[in-house]
Amino acid sequence: MEKIVNLAKRRGFTFQSSEIYGGLNSCWDYGPLGVELKRNVKNAWWRDMVQGRDDIVGIDCSILMHPRVWEASGHLAGFTDPLIDCRVCKGRFRADHIADAQCPLKPSKAPGQHDKCDLTEARNFNLMFKTFMGPVEESASVVYLRPETAQGIFVNFKNVLTTARTKIPFGIAQTGKSFRNEITPGNFLFRTREFEQMEMEFFVKPGDDDRWFDYWVNARLEWYVGLGIRRDKLRLRPHAADELAHYAKGCSDVEYEFPIGWSELEGIANRTDFDLKAHSEHSGKDLSFFDEETRERFVPYVIEPAAGADRATLAFLVDAYDEDVVDGEARTVLRLHPQLAPIKAAVFPLLRKEGQPEKAEKIYSALRPHFAVDYDQAGAIGRRYRRQDEIGTPFGITVDHQTMTDDTVTLRERDSMQQTRLPIDRLIGELAQRLATPWSR
Ligand code: ATP
C-alpha cells in the first residue's frame, strides 16, 4: 500500500486534503491523473449500469435531504458503530474491529491486551454528519449530510415511475458523494469520511427477488473482471444471518484482496420492501406499484448493488501496480485496463530536431479531440516510456527519422512493449479499435 500511496502522490493521482495546513485526516484530493482515473471508473459504471441498459435510468439527488428521510430510513436511530475509548492512551476503536486493531502503546498487541489499557464499554456512535440549514444553529434546523445515496432514490421512486414510463422490473442509479463520520478511517482511499458511491436500486416483484439478487451478485463481480481486475483477487462473501442489516433478507459482498487483506469492495443487498414501506408510512404517500398487465398492486422489493468509486479506484490501482525489469532496469508499470487509463496514448518525437517535434505535435493535436493524450519531448526516449508506463498509459506513439520520409510512426504497447509501424492516418482507427478490444492481465 505504501508504494501505491507514494506513486499516487508523486505522479499526481492523489494529494492529502489541505496538505499545506498539515492535512485533514482521511480526506484525499484527486490530482490531474487521479481525477481522470476516478472519472473513468464512474463513467464505466454509468455506461454499464445505465446507458447500456434499457431497464435502468439515472438520477442525481441533492446531498442535503429532509431530516425525516433519515428518521424513516432508520439512520437516525440505527446508523451507528460501537465505539470504545481507551482512558489511558485516548485511542478510539470500533468494537467490532478491535481484534484486528493495534494498541497505540504496544502495536504488537490488540487494544485491551496491554496491562496499561483501560477501555470503556462500547457505546453506539451515530455516523451521520450533522449541520444546520439557515443562519440559526437550533435543533429545528438540523440537517444531515447523506450517509448513502440510496435514500434519494427511494424518495424519488414515484417521480421516476410516473415520468420515465418505466415498469417493474427496473432500476434507478446514482453516483455521488456520501459522508460518514467513521470512527477509524484509514488505509488510504479505502475508508474515508467523505467518499463517492455508485449505487443502483433495482425494483422487482416480490417473489422475483431471489433470482434478481443472484443475477446482480454475479453481474457485479463480472464487472470488475471485465475492467481488468484479476479474477483470483476477487471473491464473494455471503453475509451470515446475524450480520445482516435489519432491513436485509440477503447480502453478499464482492471482496478484493487489498494489501490490508480481503475486504469489501461492493455490497449487494436484498433490501426487501423495507425502504419503500418505511417512506410510505412516514410521508403518507403511497409508494406501491400497480401492474397494468396482471392488475396487481404491490410494494416492490429492492436489490441494491452498492459500490464505492474511491474504493473501486483503489482496487484498480492496487491490481494494476506491477514492477518488472526491462533491459536490466527496474520498471514500475500500472497495468490498468486501457479504458480506465487516465491517458490513452503519449506522443513522442525521438529527437528534438529535424522537424520531429513539429510533426509529433501535429499528431498530438489530431488525436486530442478523440482521446486523452499526452505529449512529451523531455529526456531520453526510454525514460519517457517509463514515465508513461508508471501512470498506465497503454500506448506510445513515436515520431522518428523514418516518419519524416514516409509518414509512419511506431506504436508501442505498454504491457508487451511491442512496437508496430503504421501510417499516421491509421492512428485514430487503430487506437479506437485497440481501446475497444477486451483486455486482461
Ligand atoms: P464497511 O463495512 O466497509 O463500513 P458498509 O458495508 O458500511 O462498508 P455500504 O453501506 O454497503 O458499506 O456502502 C457501499 C459501498 O460504499 C462500500 O462497499 C464501499 O465501497 C463504499 N464505502 C462505504 N463506506 C465507505 C468509506 N467510509 N470510505 C470509502 N468507501 C466507502
CATH of the domain at 426: 3.40.50.800
Indicate if ligand 1 lies below 6 Å from the C-beta of 306.
Answer: yes
Model pLDDT, residue 382? 94
Same domain, 276 and 180: yes
Give distance in angstroms: CA of 361 to centre of ligand 1.
44
Torsion angle in degrees (nearest 10) through CA of 310, 344, 370, 219:
-50
- Asked if the structure places residue 136 within a domain, the reply is yes
Alpha helices in 368-402 (DSSP H): 381-390
- Asked which of 258, 282, 317 is the last residue of a domain, the reply is 317
Average pLDDT taken over every residue of the chain: 96
- 138 pLDDT higher than 90: no
Model pLDDT, residue 245? 86
Q: Which atom of ligand 1 is nearest to the CA of 180?
A: 27
Count CB neighbours of 281 within 10 A. 11
Phi-psi region of 24 (alpha: psi -120 to 50; beta: other; left: phi over 0): beta
Same domain, 100 and 211: no
- Asked if the structure places residue 74 within a domain, the reply is no
Residues 6+ apart with CB under 8 A from 98: 84, 110, 111, 112
Q: Which atom of ligand 1 is nearest to the CA of 306?
A: 14
Model pLDDT, residue 307? 98
pLDDT tens-digit map of 291-322:
999 999 999 999 999 999 999 999 999 999 99
Distance CA 276, CA 285 (A): 10
Average pLDDT (7-30) is 96
Return the amino acid letter for 280.
S
Same domain, 352 and 252: no
Same domain, 188 and 303: yes
Taking CA atoms only, the protein residue closest to ligand 1 atom 12 is 267
Model pLDDT, residue 165? 85
Same domain, 177 and 191: yes
Give distance in angstroms: CA of 398 to centre of ligand 1.
43
Model pLDDT, residue 404? 97
Buried b (16+ CB within 10 A) or exposed e, 163-193: eeebebbbbbbbbbebbbebbbbebbbbbbb
Indicate if ligand 1 lies below 6 Å from the C-beta of 188.
Answer: no
Same domain, 40 and 158: yes
- Asked if the structure places residue 329 within a domain, the reply is no
Read off the C-alpha cell for 371: 482521446
Same domain, 367 and 430: yes
- Asked if the structure places residue 254 within a domain, the reply is yes
- Asked if the structure places residue 334 within a domain, the reply is no
Question: Which of 193, 197, 198 for mutating ligand 1's site (highest number of atoms within 8 Å of CB)?
Answer: 197
CB 176 within 8 A of CB 63: yes
Taking CA atoms only, the protein residue closest to ligand 1 atom 13 is 306
Average pLDDT (388-408) is 98
Same domain, 270 and 245: yes
Q: What is the CATH classification number for the domain harbouring 15? A: 3.30.930.10
Indicate if ligand 1 lies below 6 Å from the C-beta of 311.
Answer: yes
pTM of the model: 0.94
Same domain, 10 and 97: no
Same domain, 177 and 288: yes
- In the chain, the percentage of residues whose pLDDT exceeds 70 is 100
- Asked if the structure places residue 327 within a domain, the reply is no
Give distance in angstroms: CA of 180 to centre of ligand 1.
9
Indicate if ligand 1 lies below 6 Å from the C-beta of 301.
Answer: no
Same domain, 169 and 104: no
- Asked if the structure places residue 75 within a domain, the reply is no
Q: Which atom of ligand 1 is nearest to the CA of 190?
A: 29
pLDDT tens-digit map of 19-72:
999 999 999 999 999 999 999 999 999 999 999 999 999 999 999 999 999 999
Angle between helix axes 32-46 and 309-320 (nearest 10 degrees) is 110
- Asked if the structure places residue 150 within a domain, the reply is yes
Taking CA atoms only, the protein residue closest to ligand 1 atom 28 is 191
- Looking at the 3D structure of the chain, how many domains does it have? 3
Same domain, 264 and 310: yes
Indicate if ligand 1 lies below 6 Å from the C-beta of 195.
Answer: yes
Indicate if ligand 1 lies below 6 Å from the C-beta of 197.
Answer: yes
The parent domain of residue 108 ranges over: 80-126
pLDDT tens-digit map of 335-374:
999 999 999 999 999 999 999 999 999 999 999 999 999 9
